């Protein structure tokens, strides 16, 4: 059994509301990349991609486990594994981990990321979001 950090209990209404939020962040991440000017920083777009991935993960764990992760965003991977077991593909775990590992740097750090970095984050997010949508339709 996979240990997970203490989470917040949720109900069915939370799942649909969090999914709506995830979809809105996905739209915003796409728009941010599409409308970026040459030379724009990628940090805001990457931050949106990360927030979107967290929202999708919350919706999944709320649906399958009745709880969401709180505090340590990296622990959401453990909670997803606890909720889905082997139905959480390693490839999607890697996508989510890659996004989460950038969170502090892009949101609180001073290192700038490029628009190419943002485009790469969006590719990871698109793949994760497509998989998450299939999990939420089951």
Tokens of 78: 């453990």
d(CA 132, CA 58): 10
Domains: count for the chain: 1
Write the pLDDT tens digit of every residue in 58-87: 999 999 999 999 878 889 999 999 999 999
DSSP-derived secondary structure letter, 75: G
CB 33 within 8 A of CB 115: yes
CB 78 within 8 A of CB 5: yes
Residue 119 in any domain: the answer is yes
Q: Please report how many Cα atoms fall inside a 13 Å half-sphere around the Cα of residue 135, on the Cβ side.
A: 27
Rounded (to 5) percent helix, strand, coil in the chain: 75, 5, 20
CB 124 within 8 A of CB 98: yes
Residue 14 in any domain: the answer is yes
Residue 46 in any domain: the answer is yes
- Name the burial class of residue 21, with classes exposed (0-12), middle (13-18) and buried (19+) by CB atoms within 10 angstroms of its CB: middle
Find the domain containing 25 and state its range: 9-137
CATH number at residue 106: 1.20.120.330
Residue 2 in any domain: the answer is no
pLDDT for the residue numbered 7: 67
Write the pLDDT tens digit of every residue in 11-60: 778 999 999 999 999 999 999 999 999 899 999 999 999 999 999 999 99
Confidence of residue 3 (pLDDT cuts 50, 70, 90): very low
Residue 82 in any domain: the answer is yes
Residue 1 in any domain: the answer is no
Residue 4 in any domain: the answer is no
Residue 3 in any domain: the answer is no
């Amino acid at each position: 059994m996979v240990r997970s950090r203490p989470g917040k209990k949720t109900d069915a209404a939370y799942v649909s509301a969090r999914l709506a939020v995830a979809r809105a962040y996905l739209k915003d991440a796409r728009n941010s990349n599409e409308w970026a000017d040459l030379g724009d920083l990628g940090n805001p777009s990457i931050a949106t991609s990360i927030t979107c991935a967290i929202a999708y993960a919350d919706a999944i764990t709320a649906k399958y486990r009745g709880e969401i992760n709180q505090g340590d965003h990296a622990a959401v991977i453990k909670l997803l594994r606890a909720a889905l077991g082997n139905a959480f593909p390693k490839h999607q775990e890697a996508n989510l981990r890659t996004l989460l590992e950038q969170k502090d740097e892009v949101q609180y750090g001073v290192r700038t990321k490029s628009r190419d970095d943002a485009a790469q984050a969006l590719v990871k997010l698109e793949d994760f979001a497509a998989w998450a949508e299939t999990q939420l339709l089951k």
